Amino acid sequence: MATISSAGIGSGLNVESLVTGLMSIERQPLSQLQKQQTSYQSKISAIGTLKSALSSLQTAAKALTPSTGQTATASFSAYKATFADSTIASATTSNSAVAGTYSIDVTSLATNQRLALNTTYSAGARALTFGADSSRTLTISLASGSTSTITLDSSQNTLAAVRDAINNANAGASATIVTDTTGKQNLLLTATTGGTANKITLGGTATFVNPANYVDENNPGTPVAASSAFTQTQAATDAVVKIQGVSIATSGNTISNALDGIDLTVSKTGSTTLTVSRDTSDLKDKLNTFVTAYNSLNSSIKSLGAYDATTKTAAVLNGDTSLRTIQSQVRSALTNAPASLSGNAYKTLSSLGISFQSDGSLTVDSTKFDKAVSTDFSAVATAIGAYGSALKTTTTDLLGTGGVISSRTDGLTASTKSISKQIDALNNRLTMIEQTYRAQFTALDTTMASMNTTSTYLTQQLALLSK
């Protein structure tokens, strides 16, 4: 009997086509599961987009929420300082500043203390003696109370090495070597900052060589301790400044606490006028950031929940309850006046110039906002703080554990995992079904091939009998 080496050869049946067609029908449930899984994954991605937009809005809302124990007025108050002559002085302000105009008269600026080493040395000559020690210390103390300790090893025994060690220490003093016409070198120290608070005092175990009687480390002669090795060539002094005719105690060229919430730094002698005024630019920047964040969320919600009637195509979250919940709660936080504003001059965002447009987005009317600020800044700050707090609470709840975002994501993820298990199980079943089909068709092919062989044989025998 002929041997069948490939299904369909013996019978003429297109076994591969038959199996492929049958398996195509069997795989239809698998296609549905895969389509459903893809849909869930798309929704998870869309929820991630919502989460990102909500997080940005949450951050913007936090920036509009006063810190615990701080009033909204204090939180959002900011001031700017302007000088008629900015070359004379500069200033930094805090929210405790008071608006007003002040005369500033700078009679003299602070000076930096200068010290010079009492002994000169040849270039590269030994300037420090260490005796039997492997290292010595040089301390630089400032009158303000800070002290820096510089450790010098025995190889750092020249003026250049001492200079470099001091400059690398950032200790409140800088060092420079000065060479005279004979080639002798001296070490000069200058306080980094002017003023009596930065007066330098030297100390430590470092000792300078006396060239007159130094022989070697075993016979160092009469070395001089660092504390007495320098002479002051310029004293440290503070600036002399008057504000509104009142002499002010200074610390160098910086004046702190002379005016509420203002630190002055004088840079040139002369007279000028300081004007302190309220600065609302930071608050407006925070508001604009908030509006941008809300509009981004609004845009995402519209896009993810859209339906195109022309193409009859629905966006990935069209009809999703989580989308409607987020939209409703955020909108409610912005339209329902907080109870804390019952006695406030401004109770709604629209009264501050922050209003909704027909497409659901927010816009800021700068003219209306500026007018409200100039009329009653405290009431404006209170209103913004109240809405900021309400929205911060809302977004935190939506984003938190058990919130809409978390719950929806968890549910979709669980559904995706469940479908993955169903797909795996169905794939295993389909493999077995295909094997069964192939076995059945192979058996059929073999049987038909055998019958064809028998038929051919009988035909031949009958033909012979007829002869």
Per-residue tokens: 67? 């810190």
pLDDT band at residue 3 using 50, 70 and 90 as cut-offs? very low
Q: Which is more confidently placed, 396 or 436?
A: 396
CATH architecture designation of domain 114-234: Sandwich (2.60)
Question: What long-range pairs does 26-30 form, CB within 8 A, spacing at least 24?
Answer: 26/430, 26/433, 26/434, 27/430, 29/426, 30/423, 30/426, 30/427, 30/430
- Average pLDDT value for residue range 442-451: 72
Return the pLDDT at 273. Answer: 96
pLDDT band at residue 12 using 50, 70 and 90 as cut-offs? low
pLDDT band at residue 267 using 50, 70 and 90 as cut-offs? very high
Return the pLDDT at 440. Answer: 74
Return the pLDDT at 417. Answer: 79
Geometric angle at alpha carbon 84, from 81 and 87, rounded to 5°: 90
366-424 tens-digit pLDDT: 999 999 999 999 999 999 999 999 999 999 999 988 888 888 877 777 777 777 777 77
Q: Are strands 224-225 and 207-208 parallel, antiparallel or unpaired?
A: antiparallel
Query: For residue 425, how many C-alpha atoms fall within 13 Å in the half-sphere facing its CB?
Result: 8
pLDDT band at residue 320 using 50, 70 and 90 as cut-offs? confident
Largest CA distance in the chain: 148
Q: Would you say residue 11 has pLDDT above 70?
A: no
Contacts of 189 (CB under 8 A, 6+ apart): 114, 115, 116, 166, 173, 174, 175, 200, 202, 230
Q: Which is more confidently placed, 62 or 403?
A: 62
3-state secondary structure of 139: strand
3-state secondary structure of 155: coil
Q: Which residue has the tokens 């987009």?
A: 49
- DSSP readout, 93-118? E-TT---EEEEEEEEE--B--EEEES
Indicate the angle between helix axes 404-466 and 321-335, nearest 10 degrees: 160
Least confident of 164-168, 182-186, 206-210, 439-443: 439-443
Q: Which is more confidently placed, 422 or 185?
A: 185
Least confident of 176-180, 249-253, 433-437: 433-437
Q: Would you say residue 5 has pLDDT above 50?
A: no
Is 298:357 a contact under the CB 8 Å cutoff?
no
Return the pLDDT at 339. Answer: 93
Q: Would you say residue 29 has pLDDT above 70?
A: yes
Rg of the chain taking only CA atoms, in angstroms? 44
Least confident of 220-224, 287-291, 401-405: 401-405
Return the pLDDT at 1. Answer: 38
